[in-house]
């Protein structure tokens, strides 16, 4: 991910991951998949959930049996997507314990695989970034890996990972999983390929400062933006800026709530997560119909979409310059959304929250020559989310000061 446009230097590899993991992906794939889903209170159960419901497989393990005395991590992978699910082993681990109490299960770290860790850290420090942990090296019989950690929005961090000819299964200290679930090969393929984008929710008036942080410290640039005049329902609204690296292979939408009659789902996230954090992770597929058919057979739950959406979609497509290849009746059956412009279209669907708090959820997306983020679907998506939000008792009326009046 070449986040620094420095002549003759390519500090980033054009890949991203999460919380300590990495995998190489084709140049067209924006993220390498590494999403550290760090912080689940029960990593084995979380790993089983992602494997059984979403089609992941266990890739690697680190825990007491491998010599890790403080943290246990289960690494799951599907094609180029890698999630690292970690938790503290000891009651005295204040950092992970406090994070779990405050935020619940969620994404602690989004990692980037880089080519020159020292250079990126040095330049980020010069521009004012907070370095949580200076570069260090870990090694085992398979080689060496250099790491560093920098602070981004809220309590979220970015781990920089530079592989120094490392040939191991995953990263130093990780071993093959202790157990392979015999049920998984019998389930239909998840058909998910790589991380498309990772969305960060911010409190009100923090979107621009966060976007500016990426531009200043990692030399990202603005890729796309939309305001509350375009993204709103009868009750709530949001604003969004998408930032991306130099090669535009890593995309990170930054959202904030906008004033409305009732509490927006962005504000609901901020309230329940305890501040800024990763709202959702979009997973790209080349065959969304098969993917969602299979994931629903596995028992994965997705947000509902009213049938009226597809009636309006058919009318809009009659005058569109593009033609959707997929069968609209099948898209309606699976509740897959469609957004399009004069050049192409995208197909997308969103899961229910993947933990009890209404915070982190996932998106499945397929692109057909369309690099947007579903702005045309925001109203339908928001209304679907607001339906669930109302069921949770959180679609509350806001008074003129922006505070909630409980009804």
- The binding site for Fe cation comprises 197, 280, 363
User: Residue 164: left if φ>0, alpha if ψ -120 to 50, beta else—which one?
Assistant: beta
DSSP states of 291-332 as a string? HHHHHHHTT--B----HHHHHHHHHHHHT-SS---S-HHHHH
CB 139 within 8 A of CB 171: no
User: What spatial distance separates the first Cα and last Cα of the chain, rounded to whole Å?
Assistant: 48
> Which residues 6+ apart lie within 8 Å of 110 measured at CB?
16, 17, 18, 19, 35, 36, 152, 156, 157, 158, 159, 198, 278
CB 80 within 8 A of CB 284: no
Strands (E), 203-297: 221-226, 237-244, 251-258, 277-284
Pairing between β-strand 337-340 and β-strand 345-350 as defined by DSSP bridges: antiparallel
CB 264 within 8 A of CB 258: yes
Q: Within 13 A of 97's CA, how many CA atoms are on the CB side? A: 7
* Binding-site residues: 197, 280, 363
> Which residues 6+ apart lie within 8 Å of 343 measured at CB?
322, 369, 370
Token pair for 293: 């058919």
Q: Dihedrals φ, ψ of 145, to 5°?
A: -140, 135
The candidate with the shortest Cα–Cα distance to 245, out of 26, 31, 7, is 31
Dihedral of CA 217/220/221/225: which sign? negative
């Amino acid at each position: 991910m070449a986040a620094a446009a420095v002549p003759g230097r390519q500090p980033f590899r054009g890949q991203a991951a999460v919380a300590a993991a990495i995998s190489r992906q084709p140049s067209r794939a924006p993220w390498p998949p590494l999403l550290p889903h760090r912080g689940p209170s029960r990593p084995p159960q979380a790993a089983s959930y992602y494997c059984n419901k979403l089609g992941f497989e266990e890739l690697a393990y680190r825990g007491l049996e491998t010599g890790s005395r403080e943290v246990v991590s289960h690494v799951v992978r599907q094609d180029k997507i890698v999630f690292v699910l970690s938790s503290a082993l000891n009651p005295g681990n204040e950092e992970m314990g406090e994070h779990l109490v405050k935020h619940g299960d969620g994404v602690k770290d989004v990692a980037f695989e880089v080519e020159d860790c020292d250079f990126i850290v040095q330049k980020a420090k010069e521009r004012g970034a907070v370095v949580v942990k200076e570069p260090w090296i870990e090694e085992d019989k398979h080689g060496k890996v250099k790491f560093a950690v920098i602070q981004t929005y809220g309590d979220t961090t970015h781990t920089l990972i530079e592989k120094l000819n490392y040939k191991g299964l995953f990263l130093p200290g990780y071993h093959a999983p202790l157990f392979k679930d015999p049920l998984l090969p019998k389930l239909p393929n998840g058909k998910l390929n790589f991380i498309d984008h990772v969305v960060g929710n911010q409190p009100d008036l923090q979107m621009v400062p966060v976007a500016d942080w990426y531009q200043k410290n990692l030399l990202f640039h603005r890729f796309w933006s939309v305001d509350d005049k375009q993204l709103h329902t009868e009750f709530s609204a949001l604003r969004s800026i998408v930032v991306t690296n130099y090669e535009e292979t890593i995309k990170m939408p930054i959202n904030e709530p906008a004033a409305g009659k009732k509490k927006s789902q962005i504000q609901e996230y901020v309230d329940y997560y305890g501040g800024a954090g990763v709202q959702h992770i979009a997973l790209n597929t080349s065959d969304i119909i098969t993917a969602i058919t299979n994931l629903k057979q596995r028992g994965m739950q997705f947000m509902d979409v009213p049938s009226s959406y597809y009636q309006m979609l058919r009318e809009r497509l009659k005058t569109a310059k593009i033609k959707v290849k997929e069968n609209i009746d099948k898209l309606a059956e699976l509740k897959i959304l469609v957004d399009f412009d004069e050049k192409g279209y995208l197909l997308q669907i969103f899961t229910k929250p993947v933990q009890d708090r209404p915070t982190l959820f996932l998106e499945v997306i397929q692109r057909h020559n369309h690099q947007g983020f579903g702005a045309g679907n925001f109203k339908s998506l928001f209304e679907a989310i607001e339906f669930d939000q109302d069921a949770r008792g959180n679609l509350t009326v806001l008074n003129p000061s922006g505070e909630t009046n409980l009804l």
